[in-house]
Structure 1
């Protein structure tokens, strides 16, 4: 089984599972995002967002290919490029960190080490750019697939709570630690990215 991670580009946007390829939950502020969905412009706004981030900051995602077929992705960027992040009560993301926006593996590909490879690839990329950590907004009451990852699973893979909240804690993963994860944490990563793919669709909050 051949597997590789490739950079998310405009040409690769179609490789994201539906409806992730046109979801603008993170890429726009709540009001603008809702309007884009109502007007049928969400897919164009997603493409515009990706184009701007690629131009100004560089690669902001990876697509996982297994035997040349896309089976998952991870999206990340500084919070300045993630308008929705300011809407959370535990914002802002620390300046020395990049935000883990979202990640997904399609059904049937969890438990194969892909989650570990995805996050470690992001960690190495972010370290090379001079950042010290990855931060994410978790969902402490996670009940099913959505645009946020479950907080308890983020904690299980090494994230630490830096700003608590009953629903949306902000969590942080120090990158130096990430690159020396042991097997139990690597397996927990697979579980983290596997648990969110029970349903293929993303749901807004």
Structure 2
């Protein structure tokens, strides 16, 4: 199965998985709701946020879909396999509520990502790689994210949450930090480094020139594997050998 990753357009909003369309964990500050958790139309809020960011800043997401086969419906109508969202930190209200903030002035904030059941972590790595390519092209120096550690499960008990952390983990609709934040271990595996340690919510950073180096190293390793496979082909399996 061939996979295509492309910038998310507002017209493709309906392609996103249901939770991604309804998730406003990062996009809405619960404090603006007067202490209430209810949003009458979270999909409207999410679409409005995407529209605002795209208008003021540009593309703020990538979406992975299957490539349409000949005679099938177009790529734009294929089901979503995975997605990733990012934005300037000034456009992300929840970012200002974390104890490891603020996000660096030269960085874009990676907020959320997800893949559909049956997909591998390799697709998540490919989505990150596409974000790096896009942001480097736009002259961005770094990508940062608030990661969620395994210890953060301690905070699922409301009585265990320190008052200083409550603004960061406050529930909004069907969103929660457990579901809507990216795991710190994945970010470390993707090449991020911790710049603001925290037991539950470290802030991590990927220098984009380093990110490109990571991508180049992966591509070089694949090229070496291909060359080795060609060298190990038995005589007669490849090009004609002349004496």
Matched, 1:131 2:164: no
Matched, 1:77 2:84: no
Report the CA distance shift for 1:110/1:150 in structure 2 as closer, same or farther (over 3 A): same
Q: Which runs of 4+ in 1 moved over 6 A?
A: 33-36
What stretches of structure 2 of length at least 5 have no aligned partner?
68-77, 154-176, 222-243
CA contact (8 A) 2:60 2:85 kept: yes
The residue aligned with 2:106 is: 96
Matched, 1:164 2:205: no
Report the CA distance shift for 1:72/1:142 in structure 2 as closer, same or farther (over 3 A): farther
Alpha-carbon distance, 1:34 to partner? 8.4
What stretches of structure 1 of length at least 5 have no aligned partner?
187-205
Counterpart CA distance in 2 for 1:121 and 1:33 is 35
3-state SS of the aligned residue for 1:108?
Answer: coil
Larger helix percent:
2
Q: For the aligned residues, what is the CA RMSD?
A: 2.3
CA contact (8 A) 2:125 2:190 kept: no
The residue aligned with 1:51 is: 51
CA contact (8 A) 1:99 1:136 kept: yes
TM-score (norm 1): 0.81
Report the CA distance shift for 1:165/1:106 in structure 2 as closer, same or farther (over 3 A): same
3-state SS of the aligned residue for 1:38?
Answer: coil
TM-score (norm 2): 0.69
Alpha-carbon distance, 1:44 to partner? 0.9
Alpha-carbon distance, 1:127 to partner? 1.3
Counterpart CA distance in 1 for 2:137 and 2:201 is 29
